[in-house]
Amino acid sequence: MTTAAKGERRQKAFERSTAFLEGRGLFWVAQRALIYGALVFFAIVFVFPFVWLLSNSLKDPLHIFDANLIPQPIVWQNYVTIFQETETMGTPLISMIRNSVIVSVLGVTAVLISSSMIGFALAKLRFPGANVVFFLVLMTMMLPGEVTIVPVYLIWRKLADLTGGLIGTGTLFPLWLGGLFGSSFYIFMLRQFFLGIPQELIEGARVDGASYLRIYWQIMLPLVRPALLAVAVLEFQAKWNDFMGPLIYVSNKPDLWTLPIGLFQLNQHFGFGQFRYELIFAAAVLMLLPSVILFFLAQKQFIKGLSAGAVKG
C-alpha cells in the first residue's frame, strides 16, 4: 500500500471520528462522563468514613481532631495500647475477639447446616404439606425481630434455670444456637438454588442406591457452593456485628463480651473523661478488619451466589 493511500485512509478515519463526536458522540461522551463521575463521587462518599477511621486510629491525642488525613506522626503504638489498657480494665480485648470468633464461626456453621437441609427438603423432596411449610417459612420473614425478643429471652432464661446456668442467659449459647433452627431468608435463598438443579440427578442417584442424606451431602452441596458461601458471608457479618444479642444475654458477664458490646463499653470508658478517642478508633478498626478481609476474599463467589439465586426457580 502506497503512502498516499495510507494517508487517505487516516484522513477518512479522522473525519468519521470527528463526525461521530460532533453528532451523537458528544451526547455519548457526556453521558459516560456523568455516569462515571457519579460513580466516583459515591465511591468517595462510601470510602471516606473508613479512611477517616483508619487515619484517626493512628493519631496522637493532641492531633485527633485536626483535619489532616495523613497522621503526623503515625502512632502505631495505639494498637498496642488498646490491648494493654483493656487488660488493666479486666476486660481484655483479646477475650472479646475470641468470643466474637466463637459466636460467628458456630453461628455460621449452625445456620449453614440447618438452612441448607431445609432448603433442600423444600426444593427436592415430595411430601404432603411441602407448600404449606414453605408458606409458613416465608411468613416468618415478615415478622420484625423486635417482636420475638421478649419471648425468646424468656425461653433462654427458663433453659438457664433448668440447666443450672449451663445453657441460656449468661452464656454464649443464645448468640449462636438459634441458627440450628434455620433462617427464613437463607432457606428461601438456598431453596431457589436447589430448584435450579435438575431432578434427574436425584433420580439417578436414587436408582444407584444413594440415600437422601448422601445425595444432599455429596451431590447437592457441592453444586450450591456459591450460595453457601454467600450465606456464610452474610451470617458472619450479622454475628460479628451483632450488638443487641450480647447486650441482652451477656451484658453482665464481662468475660463473655463480644467486640460490639466491648466497643460500646470502651467508648464509655475512654470517650468520657479520658478523651482517648484514638484508642476507640483503633478498636473499631480491629473490629472492622475481619469483615472487610472476608468480603474481599470472597466477593466474586459472594456476588455470584446472590445473583444466581435471584434468577432461579
pLDDT digit string (tens) for 54-86?
A: 999 999 888 888 878 888 888 999 999 999 988
The string of pLDDT tens digits covering residues 141-172 is: 888 888 899 999 999 999 999 999 899 899 99
The pLDDT of residue 313 is 45
Does residue 47 sit in the same domain as residue 95? no
The pLDDT of residue 68 is 82
Q: Which CATH number covers residue 269? A: 1.10.3720.10
Does residue 52 sit in the same domain as residue 112? no
Rounded-to-integer distance, Cα 236 and Cα 231, Å: 8
Residue carrying the nine cell digits 437422601: 212
The pLDDT of residue 121 is 92
Does residue 147 sit in the same domain as residue 277? yes
Does residue 46 sit in the same domain as residue 136? no
This prediction has a pTM of 0.83
Rounded-to-integer distance, Cα 244 and Cα 251, Å: 10
Does residue 199 sit in the same domain as residue 281? yes
Does residue 147 sit in the same domain as residue 27? no
- With contact defined as beta carbons under 8 Å apart, do 72 and 63 qualify? yes
The pLDDT of residue 284 is 93
Q: HSE on the CB side for 234, CA within 13 Å?
A: 18
The pLDDT of residue 25 is 62
Alpha-helical (H) ranges within 21-92 are 26-57, 77-89
Work out how many domains the chain is built from and give that number: 2
User: Which of 38, 57, 76 is the C-terminal boundary of a domain?
Assistant: 57
Rounded-to-integer distance, Cα 74 and Cα 68, Å: 12
Please report whether residue 65 resides in a domain. Answer: no
Residues of the chain with pLDDT under 50: 311-313
Please report whether residue 120 resides in a domain. Answer: yes
Please report whether residue 73 resides in a domain. Answer: no
Q: Which residue range is the domain that position 36 belongs to? A: 3-57
The pLDDT of residue 15 is 58
Does residue 101 sit in the same domain as residue 237? yes
